[in-house]
Structure 1
């Protein structure tokens, strides 16, 4: 059962209990505060590396494929003690970018919409669902990404809704966080 109203200290305590090679996933809809929470958690636990799915999504229609690439290419191998690999996405060129490797044993936070699925839940002991009111989310996201994101808001939101219907990530979370 998820800890409702979790604080950063609650999540950090779960990370500490998980051990030095803990795997954490942070999911939520656009503008909910995933990136902010991941940065704060990494600042509190400096050994952790943060992987943002914004680096992997292959364009504006790539929520599912980006999240799946992180789960199968990084989270799964790390959970098995192997190196993880992921390929970046060059948003300006709208094309694949360089490959990256994550060393075995790396304590890792993966944050991004779509990452909390049953497959990820089986691999990551600490799973956070971040939520915020729709108007707040939209305002944050558009303030952050402005004119670049605005024309894509609805199509991205449709992919998020599909993720919610298919995977019910909130129910898979160990912590529910509101930023």
Structure 2
């Protein structure tokens, strides 16, 4: 997959920055793909998880537009914004002085939502079977200090909200590129 070639014909829609949106189900491999691409493209990553939470899984588009896209359109060179709290014992540090790069990546469930599409130059959907996503997500989130029962309940609630988002916004259909997330390292 040659993202540089795909981006070459795409306009910079956000203050001269080409944004790549990477979406998919929770646990699909979005963050792994974003990390690999960021290294290849010398790009900064914006995580939708910094704006979402278990309490507000998808009603955050205004926050990300205000904290990320609007400042870039206005010419800012550094981003600063608070990060959402996901767990009772989660105390995330704010993002401070994140540089604006010519290519930036926004990754996470909801990155290809309708409200964000006008800002994106390239849209990627990581397509991974939901049973694999659930196994990955539970393995990742059980290390956050909660019991496995609490994590399972949070995931059940999350999957309901995620299903509604996927049906309403249909990010897979919007994507310029759909990649198989079962073995994310084989994608690149």
Name the TM-score, length of structure 1 as normaliser.
Answer: 0.78
Q: CA deviation at 1:124?
A: 0.6
Q: 2:26 aligns with which of 16, 30, 37?
A: 30
Partner of 1:15: 7
Q: Gaps (5+ residues) in structure 2? A: 143-147, 182-188
Partner of 1:6: none
Q: 1:73 aligns with which of 67, 77, 82?
A: 67
Q: 1:155 aligns with which of 139, 142, 157?
A: 157
Give the aligned length: 169
Pair 1:117-2:99 in alignment: no
Deviation readout 1:78-136 (Å, 9 max, x if unpaired): 25644655321234456786364555555311111112122322111111111111111
CA distance in 1 between partners of 2:48 and 2:104 (Å)? 13
Q: CA deviation at 1:72?
A: 4.0
Partner of 2:83: 88
CA distance in 1 between partners of 2:32 and 2:4 (Å)? 14
Q: 1:44 aligns with which of 40, 50, 74?
A: 40
Contact map agreement 1:78 1:106 (CA 8 A) in 2: no
Contact map agreement 1:21 1:107 (CA 8 A) in 2: yes
Deviation readout 1:150-169 (Å, 9 max, x if unpaired): 22011111111121122111
CA RMSD of aligned residues (A): 2.7
Name the TM-score, length of structure 2 as normaliser.
Answer: 0.75
Q: Gaps (5+ residues) in structure 1? A: 1-8
Contact map agreement 1:23 1:75 (CA 8 A) in 2: no
Partner of 2:145: none
Pair 1:130-2:126 in alignment: yes
